[in-house]
Amino acid sequence: MARLNISVPDPLYARLERLRDRVNASKVCARALEQELDMIEARPAPTDPEVEQLVARLQGLRERWYDRGRQDGKRWAVSRATREELYRFADLWGGEAPEELAQTLLHAEAGPTGPRPWAPAGVDFAASLQRWLETDPGDPRPDAGDDGARGAAVRTPLDEAGYLEGWRDIVVEIWKAVSPRRRR
């Protein structure tokens, strides 16, 4: 049998010394080490596609759409937005409640007083939402559907406000991070 030296805090060692005749320290340590190694070895790799699917399924609807909005907003802010667009978006929409933001950016039409409020140039929020819906793997649980279609994946319901909240939040964060560094 192999030997292994371990270190324990002094107070724990003192307690063990008092009860040495009732505790087999080697056996206790071996059992604890075996349990820890079993847990680590059984842990699937974080890049395992099935684990990623599980994480997506367990993530709440609002968080899923919020994260998707953050991804798209970051992509726009980092690769396409101008300084003026970042400032304008953060200034106009930074404090807007998600539901009002969604109503304004997705559903507001030009009215008698002029065009709808400013939105980022070249950004089609409706098309982005549709793209996410089309690529959504759905919920693969066999009992996910209440319509009798057992075993079929159930599409994730759309949360426009959550998506736009994520989009807005990352753009505002990026603006706050870069605005002190920019030259006037």
Annotated domain spans of the chain: 10-42, 49-181
pLDDT per position as a tens digit, 77-131:
999 988 888 888 888 877 777 677 777 777 655 445 555 566 787 888 889 999 9
| The 3-state secondary structure of 62-90, one letter per residue | HHHHHHHHHHHHHHHHHHCCCHHHHHHHH
Mean pLDDT of the chain: 78
CA 53 – CA 55 distance, rounded (Å): 5
pLDDT of residue 110: 46
Distance CA 34, CA 43 (A): 14
Residue 39, CB-side half-sphere exposure with 13 Å CA sphere: 6
Taking only the tens place, the pLDDT of each residue in 148-178 is: 454 455 667 888 888 988 998 999 888 888 8
pLDDT of residue 181: 66
pTM of the predicted model as reported, rounded to 2 decimal places: 0.56
Structure confidence at residue 17 (pLDDT): 92
**Rounded (5°) CA angle 29-33-38:** 150
**Better-predicted residue by pLDDT, 138 or 50:** 50
User: Distance (Å, rounded) from C-alpha 184 to C-alpha 182?
Assistant: 7
